[in-house]
């Protein structure tokens, strides 16, 4: 990647020299600069997407909150917004479930986004989204505030592959003490295996040979490691669930105002734009970028402290 950017910079240097002699090169130079700037911004974001599931697919759930029919309509607007965003990025989407509202909009929607770093990007959108507009669902068309929540989780494969590194095992043999006959009691056929990284210890002594006991102990170890992985994933899911907040006043991450003025503002990063129509049509990259950059900046003091400790 670095080499590619170096080549692009060299090409731009050449174009600068040509543009000094021929002004007709200026539009092409401007286009190259804008393209490089965009690619650099994308690369900067990718460098921050280093979480365990960031590079994978995402499952998105949208639910309306306070606001009645307006909120259900708002939830459907958000669904369209994210589907348009995914389309613009070349991601594949699949609607897994949609529950239509009684009068308009939706009661809930679940969809899958498939593509490189889909979860890494979309996790920036998790939270409560607030809409302020003139309601199309009452005669007076009064100004209404609606809420809807967006919950994003990584798509995790059902089958868990348990790989055991032989270097992580301490294998001991000893004489069996249980049933098994005279042969078992006279030889060190029993096997005890310690999985050093986790501290899990398993043993087997009921089989007739050391080889059989070892094979059975390895089966037990794989089972224990599988259960440990399930527990880890369950804890991760609980952590994600804890990120959910009440879908009402005071808990929103972003406000979309259509009346009396037009403004979309992220309350976490303070980034805002008056191009409400563009945002609702899926132009979310700047909001996502600002959020990811804010997360990097938030951890900067800690990173500096760690660096200072290492240096000392």
Judge if 64 and 35 occupy the same domain. no
Answer yes or no: do 175 and 218 share one domain: yes
Q: What is the largest CA-CA distance in the chain?
A: 97
Q: Are 215 and 151 in the same domain? A: no
> What is the average pLDDT value for the chain, to the nearest integer?
83
CB crowding 108-142: b at 16 or more within 10 Å, else e? bbbbbbebebbbbbbbbbbbbbbbbbebeeeeeee
The predicted-structure confidence for 188-203, as pLDDT tens digits, reads as follows 788 999 999 999 988 8
Residues 33 and 181 in one domain: no
Asked if 127 and 65 sit in the same domain, the reply is yes
Same domain, yes or no, for 222 and 91? no
pLDDT higher than 80, residue 274:
yes
Laid out side by side, the sheet with 200-204 consists of 169-174, 190-195, 200-204
Q: Per residue in 82-117, pLDDT tens?
A: 999 999 999 999 999 989 998 999 999 999 999 999
Mean of the pLDDT values across residues 27-32? 86
CA–CA gap between residue 190 and residue 181 (Å, rounded): 13
| Domain housing 256 | 58-156+251-311
For the residues 218-239, what does the mean pLDDT come to?
Answer: 81
What is the count of structural domains for the chain?
3
Examine residue 246 and state whether it is found in any structural domain, yes or no: no
Task: Identify the residue with better confidence: 75 or 216.
Answer: 75
Which pTM value belongs to this model?
Answer: 0.67
Write out 118-182 in H/E/C secondary structure. Answer: HHHHHHHHCEEEEEEEECCCCCCCCEEEEEEEEEEEECCCCCCCCCCCHHHEEEEEECCCCCCCH
Indicate if the pLDDT at residue 309 is higher than 90: no
**Residue 109 has what pLDDT?**
92
- Indicate whether 152 and 256 sit together in one domain: yes
Same domain, 258 and 293: yes
pLDDT at 221 over 50: yes
What CATH number is attached to the domain comprising 291? 3.30.70.1660
- Please indicate whether residue 220 or residue 294 has the higher confidence score (pLDDT): 294
- CATH number for position 222: 3.30.160.20
State which of 48, 70, 85 marks the end of a domain: 48
Quick one: 87 and 31 in the same domain?
Answer: no
Angle among Cα 74, 249, 268 to the nearest 5 degrees reads: 85
In a domain, 201, yes or no: yes
Structure tokens at 154: 């990584």
Calculate mean pLDDT across residues 293-304.
Answer: 58
The model's pLDDT over 115-167, given as tens digits with 9 standing for 90+, comes to: 999 999 999 999 999 999 999 998 887 899 999 999 998 887 656 678 899 99
Residue 185 has pLDDT above 60, yes or no: no
Kindly give the interhelix angle for 2-21 and 26-48, rounded to the nearest 10 degrees: 160
Asked whether 104 and 69 are in contact (CB, 8 A), the reply is yes
- Per the document, the length of the chain is 312
Name the percent of the chain lying above pLDDT 70: 86
Place of tokens 């607007």: 77
Residue 1: pLDDT over 60: no
Is residue 245 in a domain?
no
Both 86 and 123 in a single domain? yes
The pair phi, psi for residue 105, each rounded to 5°, is 70, -155
DSSP class of residue 25 equals G
Do both 191 and 44 map to the same domain? no
The verdict on 279 and 137 lying in the same domain is yes
244 domain residue, yes or no: no
Instruction: Report pLDDT for 48.
Output: 82
Residue 120: predicted pLDDT? 94
| Predicted pLDDT at 304 | 43
237 or 255, greater pLDDT: 255
Q: What is the mean pLDDT of residues 272-287?
A: 97
């Amino acid at each position: 990647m670095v080499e590619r950017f170096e080549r692009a910079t060299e090409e731009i240097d050449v174009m600068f020299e040509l543009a000094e002699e021929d002004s007709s090169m200026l539009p092409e130079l401007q286009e190259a600069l804008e393209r490089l700037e965009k690619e650099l911004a994308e690369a900067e974001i990718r460098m921050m997407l280093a979480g365990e599931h960031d590079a994978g697919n995402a499952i998105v759930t949208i639910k309306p909150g306070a606001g009645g029919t307006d909120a259900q309509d708002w939830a459907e607007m958000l669904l369209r917004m994210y589907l348009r965003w995914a389309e613009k990025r070349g991601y594949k989407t699949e609607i897994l479930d949609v529950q239509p509202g009684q009068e308009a909009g939706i009661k809930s929607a679940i969809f899958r986004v498939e593509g490189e770093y889909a979860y890494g990007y979309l996790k920036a959108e998790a939270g409560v989204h607030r809409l302020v507009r003139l309601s199309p669902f009452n005669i007076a068309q009064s100004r209404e505030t609606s809420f809807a929540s967006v919950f994003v989780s990584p798509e995790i494969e059902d089958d868990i592959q348990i790989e055991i590194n032989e270097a992580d095992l301490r294998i001991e043999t000893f004489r069996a003490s249980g049933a098994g006959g005279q042969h078992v009691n006279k030889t060190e056929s029993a096997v005890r295996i310690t999985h050093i990284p986790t501290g899990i210890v398993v043993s087997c002594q009921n089989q007739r040979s050391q080889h059989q006991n070892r094979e059975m102990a390895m089966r037990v170890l794989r089972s224990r490691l599988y259960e440990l992985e399930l527990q880890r994933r369950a804890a991760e899911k609980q952590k994600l669930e804890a990120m959910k907040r009440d879908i009402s006043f005071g808990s929103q991450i972003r406000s979309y105002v259509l009346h009396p003025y037009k403004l979309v503002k992220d309350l976490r990063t303070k980034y805002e734009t008056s191009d409400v129509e563009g945002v609702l049509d899926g132009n979310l990259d700047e909001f996502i970028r600002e959020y990811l950059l804010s997360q990097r900046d938030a951890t900067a003091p800690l990173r500096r402290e760690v660096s200072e400790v290492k240096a000392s």
